[in-house]
Amino acid sequence: MLFSSSIFLFLFLPLVLIIYYVPLRRFRQAQNIFLLLASLGFYAWGEPWFVLVMIASILANYGFGLWVDRNKRREKSCRAPILLAVLSNLSVLFAFKYLMFTLSIFNALGAGFVIPVIELPIGISFFTFQALSYVLDVHRDRGRVQRSPLKVGLYISFFPQLIAGPIVKYETVADQIDHRKENWEDFSAGCCRFVVGLGKKVLLSNQLALIADRAYGMAGSELSASFAWLGAVAFILQIFYDFAGYSDMAIGLGWMFGFHFLENFNYPFISTSLAEIWRRWHISLATWFRDYVYIPLGGSRVDTKAKMIRNMFVVWLCTGIWHGANWTYLAWGLINFVMLMLEKYGGLGRRWPVFFKWLFTFLVFLLTAVFFRADSLAHALTYFQSMLGFGAGWGDGLTVLYLSECWLPLLGAVVFSAPVAPKLRAWANKRGWVALDLVYALLIAGVFLVSACFIIKGTYNPFIYFNF
């Protein structure tokens, strides 16, 4: 089920909110059980069989959490339950997401494996990492163990962030499962945040996808340099508003039910260094790898530069692999690692003017994203050739056509990729503009109505990060 779908907006969400706040208002345990059942139903709507995989993950990690807690209370080593938890979770992820790719590699080397067709459960990377976070945070005393499997199930399967993040660490919501406090201020702010995310997805990302899909779908000999660059820009804006929009909707939905998730994006395109842009982009994934991979390896507190580089290499290797079973994701992760090391230890961009730092950061992000979007390494290289003018020349009428047809979402995407809206609101508050709240409410209502019209019309709608 999609957040940006009629069934969710006009049936599922209103029904869940009514039941949660009317008959169950004063019964926390009943609310938790209801949210768990609603979340499993939300997932089963499009994945009726794969919900069993999630239930198995919930029960397994509930058991691992109890095992870790028992060993801690008895002052015994937790190595066995932690190791088994990591292996079992990653084994399930490998079987569904990477087995076919791995067998194809062996076959390319001369093996003769029969490659099964395995359908990927939506969002398996997200809920697997959350499940691991539960066990690891119990071990690190970052959250108390749950005696009820239903509460573990609610944490792992809670529908706002279930299938495309943000990845919520257990320590963030451990106390909120039983002790959250709903209020009108959070609920109304959550509704507004949800509508903002809906607008980002439907009014910006979906429209930009028309350009990106056309550009990346053309053969190299048909693709001009101007349209290749336009498609590359459209794609990074598309994926930003797609994922940031989903994160806004997830965070807003969490507020409606009294849960507070951490932010997942912080205006990455204003960054003036590669290190900064990755602190602002997909923050929940970066912090997950930092807390559970980078720091356990020694982080930056190692005795040699070589170990520091090794730790960064492992993190970026894992980041590339996490995104998908394709050489393009691996190349994307390793190239970003190399560029970050050149910036950190090679002095790349160190004394440049601020504008050139920003431009270089943006271009590196743009060009590496070609690997992220391309179907294969060969496709990525062909696309780069077109960007350099070795396709259909430097310009064509297609570029003019799409610029004339899509100039409004392109302009909006560029403008709102910077913190324009919060600065305008701060400016108006500073001058005591009493009509600000009314204007904001009207804008939110307008965004919802226009987005709803696009949704009912049935335009392009899938979320990119559902694939992960």
pLDDT (tens digit per residue) in 214-245 = 999 987 788 999 999 999 999 999 999 999 99
Residue 103 structure tokens: 């067998």
CA distance 35 to 61: 19
Q: How far is CA 282 from CA 239, 243, 349, in A?
A: 11, 8, 23
Who's near 171: CB < 8 A, 6+ residues apart? Answer: 133, 137, 142, 143
Contacts of 455 (CB under 8 A, 6+ apart): 4, 5, 6, 9, 202, 461
CA angle, 381 then 339 then 368, to 5°: 30
**Main-chain dihedrals φ then ψ at residue 23, nearest 5 degrees:** -70, -25
Work out the number of other CB atoms within 10 angstroms of the CB of residue 439.
12
Query: Does the annotation count 282 as an active-site position?
Result: no
Task: Judge contact between 123 and 466, C-beta under 8 A.
Answer: yes
63 to each of 91, 167, 172, 245, 420, how far by Cα in Å? 17, 21, 21, 35, 47
> pLDDT value at position 182?
93
Name the amino acid, one letter, at 241. Answer: Y
Q: Which of 212, 208, 216 is nearest to 382 (CA)?
A: 216
Total number of residues shown for the chain:
468
d(CA 22, CA 10): 18
- Tell me if 256 sits within 8 A of 423, measured CB to CB: no
- Those residues whose C-beta lies under 8 Å from the C-beta of residue 435, and which sit 6 or more positions away, are none
d(CA 261, CA 116): 38
**Residue 363: other Cβ atoms inside 10 A:** 11
| Residue 40 CA neighbour count, 13 Å, CB half | 18
Q: How far is CA 415 from the centre of its chain?
A: 22
Q: Which residues of the chain have pLDDT under 50?
A: none
Contact (Cβ atoms closer than 8 angstroms) between residue 280 and residue 271: yes
Q: Please pick, among 179, 260, 282, 323, the residue that the annotation labels catalytic.
A: 323
pTM: 0.91
Residue spans of the domains in the chain: they are 6-180, 187-273+398-468
SS3 string, 162-180, reads CCCCCCCCHHHHCCHHHHC
Amino acid present at 264: N
Q: Residue 466 burial by CB count (10 A; 0-12/13-18/19+): exposed, middle or buried?
A: middle
**What is the b/e burial string over 39-50, where b = at least 16 CB atoms within 10 angstroms of the residue's CB?**
bbebbbbebeeb
Q: Say whether 388 sits in a helix, a strand or coil.
A: coil
Provide the CA 438 distance to its chain's centre, in angstroms. 32
Q: For residues 286 and 293, is the Cβ–Cβ distance under 8 A? A: no
Residue type, 265: F
Tokens describing residue 305 = 């530069």
Closest CA to 239 of 266, 274, 200: 200
Distance of CA 168 to the CA centre of its chain: 11
Q: What is the four-CA torsion angle of 289, 290, 296, 302, rounded to 10 degrees?
A: 130
